[in-house]
Structure 1
Amino acid sequence: MLRGWEFQIQLDEKSDKAIYLQIADAIINDIHSGRLKAGDALPGSRNLARLLNINRNTVVEALNVLIIEGWLTPKERQGTFVADTLPSLKETQKDRKTLTAINNSAVKHYHIEFDDGHPDSKIAPIAELARAYRQIFNIKGRWKMMGYGCELGDEVFRKEIAQMLNHQRGMQTSEQGICITRGSQMAMYLIAHCLFSKGDYVMIENPGYKPAWAAFENAGAKLLPVSVDKDGLVIEDVVAHLKSRKKIKAIYVTPHRQYPTTVTLSLKRRLELIRLSNESVFSIIEDDYDNEFHFGYRPILPLSSFTELKSYVYIGTMSKVVAPALRIGYLASNDSFLVRKVGDLRKIIDVQGDNIMEQAVLQLIKDGIIKRHIKKATNYYKTKRDLTASLLEKHLSSKITYTIPDGGLALWIVPDKQVDWVKLSEALKRKSIKIITPDNYSFDTNIKGIRLGYGSLNEKELEEGIIALAGML
């Protein structure tokens, strides 16, 4: 219930400050002045949008910023309230300046860039991470961290990752089965060179993730494409490859939200793939690149959580959870010999990871900051997904086919008519808008769709970019 608070603000569309930040700052000022007190309820986003005569999504973005910064707290089915414990205004301003500096310093080649699903660095817990990093240097015995550590990564950090995988993703692993890497791509490279020999084959999804393919080919493996439909990879293609009697060592899959199409591998096909893996003795390399951001009731558990699966490699990352610049990934496997090989190779190319950064992230996990951030960020990205879907419906519904995924930071759209993507991409570039064309996902030339990442774009950029795309399809 609203407790006698009337929101008054003059929005300045000519200001350098975004509208949603103007709204956020006005609410902070009312909290600071005492007009809003701890526990007070705010009006619903629809009411605020009507009051201010602006798009509701702008209000939602403002409220999400305040939730992430700690000024507001959402309560399920009750609304949004002023937090009981408020952050420092000075720290908020300092963090905003830091993020502005980071965003301004980034080299931007395009006015709008539809990436393949990057997170929004504006909401990352960068200030908390920086504080944790500084604190590491003030603890007793800090000198112990300055020497060489284990090539698999800090043991305590690996234990925490193992606990997260076991409790949240249904796996049964331990720190001995985990290697911390500098991002998921390094994990992919290490596994490729420890699993494949020249002339081995690896099955890959088509369309799929080309940087992984490059790692496999660099290790001497040959690629066998497997088609993807609305239920994920097509098992009949897997069976056909197995019958070819080629030396197939593994299959690389993204079953939770297939990259790039976002479809989820059905349970029936999961069980069939596991059966084939066990019978034909090939490993399943599972890339769970954005497990954390799931908008449904519960995320689908990984293939690697099935106890009957005899040989798996599970790859994950912290980069999407915190920020892309944070290069911390990990791999887990139930093959102890393979993990030892990974450690030996890691030691040759990179003696160890960043122990201090691992400790800083570990501190955020133990303090509950990562858990709270994921919860807030999930709501934030769900709002962006819904906004993107509404824009597609408004401007492109008669020209494309698309489905709304239950999570992630991107949508897959397929035009109803044949499109010359190279020509269209060049035309958009002249408007300073970038898209990722199908050749970036495709093993051949038959892929017709494109992946639209919405996570890192604001409302204005999303609408402008989609309108421009609609005008050219």
Structure 2
Amino acid sequence: MLRPWQFEIHLDKKSDKALYLQIADAIINAVKSGKLTSGNALPGSRQLAGLLNVNRNTVIEALDVLIAEGWLVTMDRKGTFIADILPEVNSNKNSETKPNISIEESKPYLVFDDGFPDSRLAPMNDLARAYREIFNRKSRWQIMGYSNEFGNLEFRKAIVQMLNFKRGMNVSLEQICITRGSQMAMYLASHCLLSKGDFVMIENPGYKPAWQAFENAGASLIPISVDKDGLDLNEVEKHLKKNPTIKAIYLTPHHQYPTSVTMSLKKRLKLIELSNQYGFTIIEDDYDNEFHFGQRPILPISSYSNAKNFIYIGTLSKIVAPALRIGYLVSSAENVQKAANHRKIIDVQGDNIMEEAVLNLINEGKIKRHLKKTNLIYKAKRDYFESLCNQHLKDKAVFTKPEGGLAFWIVPNKIVDTEKICTELLSKGIKIINPDKFSFDSPINGFRLGYASLTEEQLQEGITALAKYL
């Protein structure tokens, strides 16, 4: 609810125009000029009468006129607001005056994101309690100053232990830097590794925000096709033989974004061999490692002892909630030092208090229990979504039930106008991601549908609607 700090209306009590009409016209002019916009709350009639030094009945009469004309709406026990749908504004007004702010299009009521966790399951009560406990400590003053650009020391120790124990890695404290989400880690990796004129091989389709980070550092992109078990390494090798300025390759091998395929062990070993031979760095984005429903997740490429050149990027945002911006970058001590030096230019330190709070949840076993509970929920939801796809997309599209991750990759049997489908569904209040978001050049004939954040009823409604266009 947005209320003006001070509602300025100047009345001319000597004018022939009635005071209530002056008030009404002043509010209409404020809407037309953009000073008041849809959803703004007006002061109460008693307060407004006091501000204008007029009888309250005069204000009520003005508000009644505006409500009748459609400029205002009232909500029980909440107040009076500028209407969402306004009367048509005169199109002949002076073009130099501030235009009336257009009404926002109604938001979709059903959104297939690209694989977000269900924020309703986030352990917010535990996190809030941990946050309060930090401020109740006698030494709380110590965390209010500047901390280390690498991140909270004890928190880094906990993440290092998790990587070494759970993901088969062998990293030390000097090899990790905590960041504000994985995108910052991607940006830092780009700027500590790449220079203008360098080349980076990327997955196509793939993750465009990472591509933008590489281009921002001055690098050019080389797209590599993705098949049923990951990157096409024949393409990779051909480019390496022709181009000595290839500095890195970026990939999401655990659950490829957006297709969700897992890179095979054979290809992982071959990629490490090529990296060691040609000297390029493997930038591994392990964005949803925790969500794996099979017997055992495949270990990161960066965990192999013969992987010499790697940058490993992960996040805790998907574990707790997307709004929690905590990621991490793991690499050689030299690369991590470069990343920390660059990080100080844009962000002196991370969120030390939040890192302490999450560390508290890790030490108490709350994160472990939360993951165990949510994985059971997401696995059941994945299986239910698979049954819906089998029911509604039979003979229309192909898909493979993912072993992990929080999204399905749906490929229509025929080439379809994906942009038109997205537009048509949006007009009905259902939003799916336009596949152009994943494409390097030519359009991609596929849809990435995140299922974890939706209810079973929403999943059924969404897949039924999509099926009609396939």
Equivalent residue for 1:470, pick from 453, 467, 470: 467
Contact kept? 1:289, 1:316, Cα under 8 Å: yes
* Number of the residue aligned with 1:146: 144
Contact kept? 2:114, 2:448, Cα under 8 Å: yes
* Number of the residue aligned with 1:222: 220
TM (norm. structure 2) is 0.77
The separation in 1 between residues aligned to 2:259 and 2:173, in whole angstroms, is: 33
Letter in 1 for 2:233: I
Report the more deviating stretch, 181-190 or 443-452.
443-452
* Number of the residue aligned with 1:174: 172
Equivalent residue for 1:287, pick from 285, 288, 313: 285
* Number of the residue aligned with 1:99: none
Contact kept? 2:436, 2:443, Cα under 8 Å: no
* Number of the residue aligned with 1:183: 181
Aligned-residue identity in percent = 63
Runs of 4+, deviation exceeding 4 Å: none
Correspondence 1:385-396 to 2 at 5 A? 385-396=382-393
CA shift for structure 1 position 160: 0.4
Residues 214-247 of structure 1 deviation map (CA, whole Å, 9 limit, x = unaligned): 0000110100011000010010010011011240
The separation in 2 between residues aligned to 1:172 and 1:132, in whole angstroms, is: 30
**Residues 245 and 413 of structure 1: is their aligned pair in 2 closer, same or farther, counting only changes over 3 Å?**
same
Letter in 1 for 2:289: N
Equivalent residue for 1:258, pick from 230, 253, 256: 256
Q: Tell me the secondary structure at the aligned position of residue 252 of structure 1.
A: strand
CA shift for structure 1 position 447: 2.0
Letter in 1 for 2:277: E
* Number of the residue aligned with 1:235: 233
Letter in 2 for 1:367: E
Residues 55-102 of structure 1 deviation map (CA, whole Å, 9 limit, x = unaligned): xxxxxxxxxxxxxxxxxxxxxxxxxxxxxxxxxxxxxxxxxxxxxxxx
* Number of the residue aligned with 1:156: 154
Q: Tell me the secondary structure at the aligned position of residue 412 of structure 1.
A: strand
CA shift for structure 1 position 175: 1.7
Correspondence 1:307-346 to 2 at 5 A? 307-333=305-331, 335-346=332-343
TM (norm. structure 1) is 0.77
The separation in 2 between residues aligned to 1:308 and 1:264, in whole angstroms, is: 21
* Number of the residue aligned with 2:85: none
Equivalent residue for 1:424, pick from 398, 418, 421: 421
The separation in 1 between residues aligned to 2:220 and 2:361, in whole angstroms, is: 41
Letter in 2 for 1:457: L
Q: Tell me the secondary structure at the aligned position of residue 203 of structure 2.
A: strand
* Number of the residue aligned with 2:275: 277
Equivalent residue for 1:434, pick from 431, 434, 438: 431
Letter in 2 for 1:345: H
Equivalent residue for 1:451, pick from 444, 448, 451: 448
Letter in 2 for 1:432: G
The separation in 2 between residues aligned to 1:450 and 1:217, in whole angstroms, is: 26
Q: Tell me the secondary structure at the aligned position of residue 318 of structure 2.
A: coil
1:350 and 2:347 are equivalent in the alignment:
yes
The separation in 1 between residues aligned to 2:425 and 2:160, in whole angstroms, is: 44
CA shift for structure 1 position 108: 8.3
Residues 326-362 of structure 1 deviation map (CA, whole Å, 9 limit, x = unaligned): 00000111x2111111010111110000000000000
Q: Tell me the secondary structure at the aligned position of residue 321 of structure 1.
A: helix
CA shift for structure 1 position 256: 0.5
The separation in 2 between residues aligned to 1:189 and 1:428, in whole angstroms, is: 34
Contact kept? 1:189, 1:216, Cα under 8 Å: yes
Q: Tell me the secondary structure at the aligned position of residue 387 of structure 1.
A: helix
CA shift for structure 1 position 109: 2.0
* Number of the residue aligned with 2:27: none
> Number of paired residues?
366
Q: Tell me the secondary structure at the aligned position of residue 127 of structure 2.
A: helix
Q: Tell me the secondary structure at the aligned position of residue 202 of structure 1.
A: strand
Letter in 2 for 1:239: E
* Number of the residue aligned with 1:72: none
Correspondence 1:7-406 to 2 at 5 A? 109-333=107-331, 335-406=332-403
1:409 and 2:386 are equivalent in the alignment:
no
The separation in 1 between residues aligned to 2:370 and 2:395, in whole angstroms, is: 37
The separation in 1 between residues aligned to 2:229 and 2:367, in whole angstroms, is: 32
Structure 2, unaligned runs of 5 or more: 1-104
CA shift for structure 1 position 310: 0.4
Letter in 2 for 1:267: L
CA shift for structure 1 position 382: 0.3
The separation in 2 between residues aligned to 1:177 and 1:203, in whole angstroms, is: 24
CA shift for structure 1 position 397: 1.5
Contact kept? 2:112, 2:449, Cα under 8 Å: yes
CA shift for structure 1 position 174: 1.6
Q: Tell me the secondary structure at the aligned position of residue 176 of structure 1.
A: helix
The separation in 2 between residues aligned to 1:370 and 1:431, in whole angstroms, is: 38
Residues 272-322 of structure 1 deviation map (CA, whole Å, 9 limit, x = unaligned): 000000000000000000000110111110001000000111000001000
The separation in 2 between residues aligned to 1:252 and 1:277, in whole angstroms, is: 12
* Number of the residue aligned with 2:8: none
CA shift for structure 1 position 176: 1.0
Residues 19-53 of structure 1 deviation map (CA, whole Å, 9 limit, x = unaligned): xxxxxxxxxxxxxxxxxxxxxxxxxxxxxxxxxxx
Contact kept? 1:205, 1:226, Cα under 8 Å: yes
The separation in 1 between residues aligned to 2:182 and 2:287, in whole angstroms, is: 8
Structure 1, unaligned runs of 5 or more: 1-106
The separation in 2 between residues aligned to 1:220 and 1:287, in whole angstroms, is: 20
The separation in 2 between residues aligned to 1:330 and 1:225, in whole angstroms, is: 26
Contact kept? 1:201, 1:246, Cα under 8 Å: no
The separation in 2 between residues aligned to 1:110 and 1:132, in whole angstroms, is: 35
The separation in 2 between residues aligned to 1:301 and 1:469, in whole angstroms, is: 35
